[in-house]
A and B are shown apart, each in its own frame.
Chain A
Amino acid sequence: MIATATIPLLRELRRRLGAENVLGAPSELVVYECDGFTIEKNRPDAVVFPRSTEQVSEVVKLCARYGASIVPRGAGTSLAGGCLPVGGGVVVMLTRMKRILTIDLRNRMAVVEAGVPNLELSRALAGSGFHFAPDPSSQTASTIGGNVATNAGGPHTLKYGVTLNHVLGLEAVLADGSVLQIGPVPDPAGLDLLGVLVGSEGTLAIVTKVWVRLTPNPEDYRTLRAIFTSVDDATNAISDIIAAGILPAAMELMDQGIIAAVEEAYRFGFPLDAKAIAVIEVDGPAAGLDEQERRVETICRRWNAREVLRAADPRQRELLWKCRKMAVGAVGRLSPSYCIQDGVVPRTRLPHILRRIAEIGAKHRVRIVNVAHAGDGNVHPILLFDERDRDEVARVLEAGREVLAECIASGGSVTAEHGIGVEKLDFMSRLFAPADLKAMRRLREAFDPAGRLNPGKLLPSECGASAQT
């Protein structure tokens, strides 16, 4: 968008939304130039805070009139640059739409506005016997709208599935400003628009309201931590647990580097000499749990687990999960910047991929630490660097690309849950056949012919160029 067009657009936006809901000064826009991914930055032309679906619709129509692009943004925890205002435009913040509208336990459903933080809903449900299952590690901050837009997963995805499995309906504003409602009662006739919109990273519509499924809390849990002396042993044990027909609620891995960061942050008491720790939770009817716990322990011991310990009480369980979920953030203690990858491989290839990651790190002189939703074969290698060191940044980017290429070569993919954003654009043409990409592009054109909704994300442009920097 050309800067001169911004002034009348800003004036209109202020008139419609009220000046307190519009930012236009450079010094207030600068914090919106990036999200959890900081390698690329670009300042938007305006930031707006609509308070209702109608206002979102008005903003979209105004932007259409002035030819401005639109970037939806929730908590801005995207790790793939999903909120990067490529080429400027208007950032639409959903954070002032954060009411929990209904909690309907009888129908196991809640209706929330898009800006409600994930944890806020869990808090509102405390004591009800139900919860919202998607539990991304960013759940304290990330919004349900953002979770929907990225189809977020979390440790408990292993058993309970990703966000898509827990969305019953959506209200969303389309590129022409019209308001779409899908669900909440499933209608087998018609195309599956829910499946199309969930995970579309703000490129097809702006989600304003979500009908979410509530899941009954399991009767009981056992949360174990198994301490291993090699990463290989840990990943093999994890593979074997699934192979034995056990389906834990979650199965997570932290390597030695991560353990050091987490221990510094939360002083759980993890042994710092352990090469890997697996956090394994089994849940369900209390009756079968002891047996499951015993079988998990046996398998871990078979793979030389030094110790297998059960969380002593709910408090310790909570702290254990806090350690695991905050692990990525805690990496800030190890280095000034990091770049987290989101590779996924068939579970049996876990030992292989983690070995290769270590080799790639050594080759490029980049320190890499790992957390993994190991049960899903989802690895998060975290590459550590100092953004002021240009040479190191280049090596990190190269190492990252190599890690992801290795994931694809191992029969996997470059993202399980963080999305494509701008960061993974280059990989799309390697993941998908030209025909697949074309179909997706046409779908996007059908929703947004002018290409103004979150442009430069998710799908590479026809010529294959990635986002501008």
Chain B
Amino acid sequence: MLVDLPGGWSPLLGRLAWSQIPYANPILAPLFVAVVIGAIIVLGLITYYGKWTYLWKEWLTTVDHKKLGVMYIIIGLVMLFRGFIDGLMIRTQQVWAVGPHSSGVFGSLHGYLTPFHFGQVYSAHGLIMILLAATPLLVGFMNIIVPIQIGARDMAYPYLNALGLWITAAAAALIMISLFVGDFAHNGWFEYAPIFEMQYSPGVGVDYWIWTLQLVALGTTLGGINILATIIKMRAPGMSWGKLPIFVWASLSANVIALTSFPALQVALGLVAADRYLGAHFFTAGMGGNLMLYTNLFWIWGHPEVYFVILPAFGMMSEIFPTFSEKPLFGYITMVLASMAIAGVSWLVWLHHFFTMGAGPYVNTAFSVATMLVGIPTGVKVFNWAFTMYRGRLTFNAAMLWAIGALFLLLIGGMTGMMLAIPAINYMVHNSVFVVAHFHSMLLVIVYAIFGSVLYWFPKVFGFKLDEFWAKTMFWLFSAGTALVFVPMYMLGFMGMTRRLEYVFNTGWQPYLDVMEFGIVVYTLSVLAFFILLYVSVRDHAKNRVGADAWGTSRSLEWMTHSPVPFYNFAVLPHINERDEVAWRRQHGIDNVRPEHYEDIHMPNNTGVAIILGGLTFVLGFALTWRIWWLCIVSLLAIIVLMIVRSFRGDPGYIITGAELQRMEEEAYRREAQIADSHHSHPVSGGVVGNAMAYQRNDSSK
């Protein structure tokens, strides 16, 4: 053995032992029982209704970019929920454990989480929220929307797309299982050297962290390659770069970042693994290691990563604002330039995450100025959205509210970012809850944009709108929660409260922590409102059906095909005449032209290989974490063999004949006509094909 393993090791089970299962933990043990019961019920229901074949054929083996996107979004929402629970636990610990006289339970001196558990909770919270909630949600939307917006039938590499999804799912599963088997990392979502070395983190937590991150990085890189190739090669005839929908530009810039930055993370993690598994000394304090190198490598990825997640969110906002302002996006070209500028500059600023490391003033000022440069294109974007509303006709439905909320949060996050960018200010608030409040403002921009997009694109994917009343209720509750949690957090930052305190030593901070706890309760209500929103919308879905153009004022290509989008997207690939093609066709009265005849089209086959490979990567990650070497070898070999076999077989795909296509299309048109009819017979409560009526209905429902 190259490194000493405290706690023993066996050839069969590696470091795994009964003592690693927290069956005596008063929080985890009941949770585990609940999860098992829940799983049994779900599996039982699937079996009872005989849905296994449906699931396997329609979802688990699919290569349809829309279904994969939906599954990405489901993973993202589930992880968002998990991350939220972590957040709730963090806030509850901090509001409880204030001052030397606060009580303690479950083995803690103060509060209910010991440092051992508290560290795991906030580390998991950060990692999950950024990489397993925000990232899959955004990748999911890019997956669904990008091909339709550019008039393609699928991604450039449908099988790779499925593989990316299942590897991401494996990562999510790995971090979830760390709840019940062993422990997770303790030292924050970015860990840091040398505290993640074996001497200071002897458990398996850091190993879980390494392999979870490696899997996410792999999955996201594969996804990035795919989206880039799709945008570059699969655009419909006539769609020159100047006519690319703005969300596609945003996805392009984001994935350029992903493709170039994730490898840096993977290398860094590889070196961490070398330290922990092979006894190397890349990042140790002694023996020639350089711990600052890790910090640099991590943020060389870490900063571009935050722009990788914000750029698609900007793209979403740039779609929502014009639709509900009934006007083209202001300054399309500057918007594109701004995205590209952000992507470029995001490479030059990583050092602002550690101004306090003691680099000289020349280094710090260089990175400070570079960081502030990012503020320029970001500011441009905000102005452009404002001028998109200018001279518009604004409808404040729920999707628009989320987008506007995102805009205001961006102003706050941008303002505080510009404060942090100046070393003379940063020295005072770095590592404090002020930073935490800054990046939550920014990440909430993403969350707001995502909820706006869920509302905005839901009818496209599922064919009916979500309930406006509950969507708005959720929005206002969520926003109240945001204000109640993050305003006090900024104030605490100015009071000097540092981050990651398991025990809060200053009793003067108690009132602010109380307000934040109340804010979390309000957030919880908004989560409830979200569940009600889903329930009510599905219950009433027949009433809320929509036609191709769900909003009546939509602009880009995805609104030209049916809702829900057929699996082949477009029966006949459209020719693109204008930047906002649908708006242009509507204006010229040719939005209802039907193709004269249909030709055969070629589609990719489903494959079970992707999910099996995903499963194997999970096994590999688990075996590596626990150092079960035989299992590592077996799963790795299986992965390699399966990949080679699949690459020789390839996928010939299959043909849908023109006649069959025509039948399906006519079916869809009939459905749309019915929606229109039902609208005429029930003018008030009925669903409508997108037209101006839809807005009046929304307004009166307030």
Bind each other: no
